Every structure is written in C-alpha cells, then in structure tokens.
Amino acid sequence: GKLDDALATFKNVRAIQERVLGAEHASTLSTTMEVGNALQCQSRFQESEVLYRELLVVQQRVLGAEHPATLHTRFNLCWALYEQGMLGEAKTRCREVLEAFRRVLGAEHRHTIAASQLLAQLTN
C-alpha cells in the first residue's frame, strides 16, 4: 500500500543521498529518520529501533547530543522501545529526552508535550 511505497521511496532517496552527499550529510540523516518513521507507521518497531540506534550514533557525533534532530530521534527510539514492551529502557530514555526537550525547545513545544505524555503512559 501507500506505506510500502513511502518506505521504498525514502530508502531510494537515502541511497542516492548517501552516494551524492555522503552518509553523514544533514539531508541524508533526515531521510534516514523518515525511513524509521515509515517503519514505525507499519508497526515494524524492532527494525525502527535498530535504525534509530544507528542513526543516533551518527547524529550525536555530527549534530551534537542536544540538536533538535538528535532529540527527535531519541524520542522516536523511546516510542519504538515502548511499543516492544521494553518499558524500563523506554522510561529511562524518555525521562532523559524530556529534560533535554525542555532545555532546548521549551516546556510548551509539541515535542516536549509528546515526551511528557509518553512518560506519563510509561509511569502508569
């Protein structure tokens, strides 16, 4: 369906970006995030977890640990862990990313609110 088409498109674009721009270019990293998002939309949480972990290593080195894109990947990893029932790690990581979102984006930013909501689910 449409999700399969989107995933295939993102993977194709990422392959081209890696060849033309390099694996660590900001656009390539952004498209890699979209691949992970498409996997999550298909409930392929284990695959998205692996991709987000790999992406985080590069983002932290290239963009920095508290860059908004890195924080977004950290949040998406929390969600992938939550969906797989890995609640302990999800809770720990969610607390960390929530604090970072508050520092970097502010308490009222939509990503901060989303992380707060996920943490509330993990705490119940």
> What is d(CA 47, CA 57) in angstroms, rounded to the nearest whole number?
16
pLDDT over 90 (residue 1): no
Q: How confident is the model at residue 91 (pLDDT cuts 50, 70, 90)?
A: very high
Q: How confident is the model at residue 103 (pLDDT cuts 50, 70, 90)?
A: very high
Return mean pLDDT, the chain: 96
Q: How confident is the model at residue 124 (pLDDT cuts 50, 70, 90)?
A: confident
Residue 65's SS3 state is coil
Dump pLDDT digits (tens) for 35-63.
999 999 999 999 999 999 999 999 999 99
Q: Where are the alpha helices (DSSP H) in the chain?
A: 2-20, 26-41, 45-62, 68-83, 87-105, 110-123
